[in-house]
Chains A and B, each alone.
Chain A
């Protein structure tokens, strides 16, 4: 049965998701000594885009027009499986995290074929990078996950997160830290952040995510922008759920603790973006494979510990 409280938190998280990029931008602006765009900038952008009418390229087919909806709804559906505010997700069953990863995969598949649909050199370039980086990030995410499955003895992501506690951090600090760092890299990769991709770059040749949506406008672009923000929200909530565990806290403290955790993750992203330069493209695969290596070290430590 779907609990009304989980439903409410799901809707709250849908409403709050576009704040995250705003906070990251504020952090970056702070480091650059600027004022920066308002925290609610993405809301303004989305509302502006929703009022506009679209332009489509002559080579585009139905794929271009269907893709924003698939991307939007598959990301939203993935959100049904992710616990937010330190509570169980709306749906949970054994292996739901696999479905979550593959739901995001459908969105990616459609984004890639939509990019190829316009027949642009830039978009093809972005698509080709995107598929490689996401393929490399997948093993890292799953390796970290299975250590947690082993720690908690649960197979669904909600049960895993409710089973985590500060004791694990105390007993195996190395393992938990390795998983957290490895998931952080996965987050940066999957959400097209520095050092993998730069959301603010101006040159098409260097973009990855932004270049794939170059030809989108109006409502389509609004859906995709919102879906990207929500995807960032999902990965951040996984990461903050890993750091702040529900079991240690009284029920009253769950919501503020989760908000603190999300703020922490976004500030870390902002700090990373402000202090690290973007990697050269040939080094990006090494960086992502590195996250896989960290997760595998965590797994080896776990095997050795058993």
Chain B
């Protein structure tokens, strides 16, 4: 625990140093980067000890001027700090290497980055509502400053504001939530929340407040509208940290609150399941309709949040029905997916930064043919894309498979509700999987394959070696966690046990084996498949390629002058999907149609705005804005009247105190 706290201090001090040495850019970047890496390594030791050896250091009390801060590093905290540590360190190395802090105040940029990193580490170990909320608030504010770093772009400022408003609406729910919890238990300590017996009615209110408050961070449907823009306009390494680590803090909070509420109710499970399903499908439809590469990846974060929510929902329902096997498969799948998604999404966002570095644009319509110019980025991004699409040799498939397996277990259980659950999971995940495959085949294929569509910049540059290192490490982690999936179940199993314990779920070794057995078989399959496909290819290249002809023209139906513009574009690729789901994604169409006998000029362009933003949030917030107009009279800018307000408030408080006494 001491190491962990020292790591937090090191990261904050590094951030401050970077700020004060902002004028000396190399020094400032070095201070920021080195402190992140050193801090991550320092904190990694106790985290791994907790996860693997099960060492629980117990409560750690820190005597601060404002009061006692209680901290605790248990299994759940250790598990959720893993993505933070991995992505915090790797993104810092990447940021220093790709060197796009080309502006003067790079010092403050590093400060907020380190602050975000440190507060997330603090958040997962806080065992006191006040510390938790403070860390939560600092985290959101630091993220806000990182998002609006490119504040010369109006959309980046807008994205930042949306993020700030959304996270404060969420935080308001959290204040209410913790107020209710502490009213029930008489203390702000997490330990007392667990001990207090909360009546089922207020437990439901608390759960749904948590789902709302933390749902904002994970990007649950209808609370997600800040997410695509924020991830898009932040720099690549910031997006990686936001999507890979900060959004996972939402899941951490949700899980922590579920641990306080011992008796699950089936309504919670159904709510999580429905929210997850809708989030996943909606996000993929929107992702397929986007033409900005980072928006596609951002929507895919939301999709994976949907999968995780479905896993959690299934686990909660299994908890209600007291079915440990089902609960284990669902929870283990959800938790493993949290980790796997973090790593893959980090890789994809960092890869998108590398592409931006090489091509200078984020528009999918201008991509193409990058694989020849940027082979390293192509291979790493391809692995990330295949992994996030949930294809078998890679880690995301294992976690999705566990949730699928939970669905099949539910079908076996047999009751009508279980069949409904199973149908939702199998059909939902099947559809999500198919659409995710479509989305990432499109993304990878249009970035890296075919011929370049960018006429202005035909010679993209490959990133340098220092940028390759973080990308390579993430690919290594993906491979390692794919190969180690059967063994990863044991540390994850401890986390699941910690969550199941308050709800009365006890998992036996046989329950773990029900999941571990198939996972082991899948690993065997995957290894053989990789081996066979690659060796078959090499054999063919070596022995059976005599007389092969390269460099011929692609078949084009006899058209004599093929051109890069003849290729299918990203919007034409996704047009059939968008058309099928046109009631959800409603693209704006611009352009002049072809007309006359000898048409000269025609153009066509579509863009798709987030449908909920357009049809729900804009009207709703417009209404709120109009309702608030009368209150603007209070904001007149006259200082003496403001002082008068303060005096009035103090007087009212005094009267209240006197009357109450």
Contact = CB atoms under 8 A, between A and B. Distances in A.
A61 B371 contact: yes
B423 A143 contact: yes
Contact of A127 (B390, B420, B445): B445
B586 to A, nearest CB: 17
B536 interface: yes
A135 B525 CA distance: 23
Contacts of B401: 95, 98-99, 102
A187 to B, nearest CB: 16
Contact of B537 (A69, A115, A136, A137): A69
A275 interface: no
Contacts of B577: 128, 131-132, 135
A149 B554 contact: no
Interface residues of B, number: 87
Contacts of B449: 59, 61, 63, 113, 116-117, 119
Contacts of A215: 554-555
A80 B525 CA distance: 10
B532 interface: yes
Nearest to A152: B412
B528 interface: yes
Interface string B565-588: 011100011111101100000000
Main secondary structure of the interface of B (DSSP, over half): helix
Contact of B408 (A69, A72, A146, A282): A146
Contact of A132 (B389, B551, B580): B580
A56 B438 CA distance: 25
Nearest to A115: B445
Interface stretch (B158-166, B209-217, B426-434, B460-468): B426-434
B411 A146 contact: yes
Nearest to A112: B441
A172 interface: no
Given A124-B572, A128-B575, A116 B408 contact: no
Nearest to A295: B427
A53 B547 contact: yes
A66 B529 CA distance: 13
Given A93-B518, A127-B441, A98 B405 contact: yes
A158 to B, nearest CB: 13
A145 interface: yes
A38 interface: no
A127 B533 contact: no
Given A56-B548, A73-B533, A103-B392, A303 B554 contact: no
A120 B450 CA distance: 8
A80 B577 CA distance: 32
A117 B547 CA distance: 22
B426 A72 contact: no
Greatest chain A CB density within 10 A among B368, B434, B529, B536 is at B434
Interface string A53-65: 1111111110101
A27 B224 CA distance: 54
Nearest to B547: A53
A58 B554 contact: yes
A182 B420 CA distance: 19
Contacts of B444: 113
A150 B423 CA distance: 11
Given A102-B433, A150-B412, A155-B412, A58 B419 contact: no
Contacts of A106: 391-393, 529
Contact of B437 (A105, A137, A154): A105
A163 to B, nearest CB: 11
Interface in A46-100: 53-61, 63, 65-66, 69-70, 72-74, 77, 80, 91, 93-96, 98-99
A57 B408 CA distance: 45
Contacts of B580: 132, 136, 285
Contacts of A138: 430-431, 433-434
A8 interface: no
A161 interface: no
Contacts of B600: none
Interface stretch (B77-85, B538-546, B620-628): B538-546
B596 interface: no
A54 B552 CA distance: 11
A95 B450 contact: no
B422 interface: yes
B111 interface: no
A65 B568 contact: no
A139 interface: yes
Given A98-B401, A122-B557, A145-B426, A58 B434 contact: no
B397 A155 contact: no
A215 B517 CA distance: 41
B408 A58 contact: no
A218 B550 CA distance: 13
B412 A109 contact: no
B451 interface: yes
A134 interface: yes
A56 B551 contact: yes
B565 to A, nearest CB: 10
Nearest to A97: B408
B514 interface: yes
Given A109-B391, A116-B450, A146-B419, A55 B549 contact: yes
A306 interface: yes
A59 B549 contact: no
Given A143-B426, A285-B580, A119 B536 contact: no
B446 interface: yes
A214 interface: yes
Contacts of B438: 131-132, 135
Contact of B552 (A56, A69, A146, A150): A56
B564 interface: yes
Given A112-B441, A121-B567, A302-B419, A77 B529 contact: yes
A94 B537 contact: no
Contact of B518 (A95, A131, A304, A306): A95
B353 interface: no
Contacts of A214: 555
A58 B452 CA distance: 13
A94 B567 contact: no
Contacts of B579: 282
Interface in A195-241: 204, 214-215, 218-219
B445 A112 contact: yes
Given A102-B397, A109-B391, A129-B576, A135 B445 contact: no
Contacts of A135: 431, 433-435, 437-438, 577
Contacts of B551: 56, 58
A80 B409 CA distance: 22
B412 A131 contact: no
B369 interface: yes
13 contacts: A54-B548, A58-B551, A61-B372, A77-B528, A95-B408, A117-B445, A131-B434, A135-B431, A135-B438, A138-B434, A146-B419, A153-B412, A155-B412
Given A135-B438, A150-B422, A306-B419, 19 more contacts: A60-B554, A69-B534, A69-B536, A72-B533, A98-B408, A103-B392, A109-B386, A109-B389, A109-B441, A118-B555, A120-B554, A121-B566, A125-B568, A127-B445, A139-B427, A146-B422, A218-B548, A292-B427, A306-B414
Interface of B: 368-369, 371-372, 386, 389-393, 397, 401, 404-405, 407-409, 411-412, 414-416, 419-420, 422-423, 426-431, 433-435, 437-438, 441-442, 444-446, 448-451, 514, 517-518, 521-522, 525, 528-529, 532-534, 536-537, 540-541, 544-557, 564, 566-568, 572-577, 579-580
Interface of A: 53-61, 63, 65-66, 69-70, 72-74, 77, 80, 91, 93-96, 98-99, 101-103, 105-106, 108-109, 112-113, 115-125, 127-129, 131-132, 134-139, 141-143, 145-147, 149-150, 153-155, 204, 214-215, 218-219, 281-282, 285, 292, 296, 299, 302-304, 306
The 6 closest A-B pairs by CB, nearest first: A124-B568, A135-B434, A116-B445, A119-B450, A53-B547, A131-B438
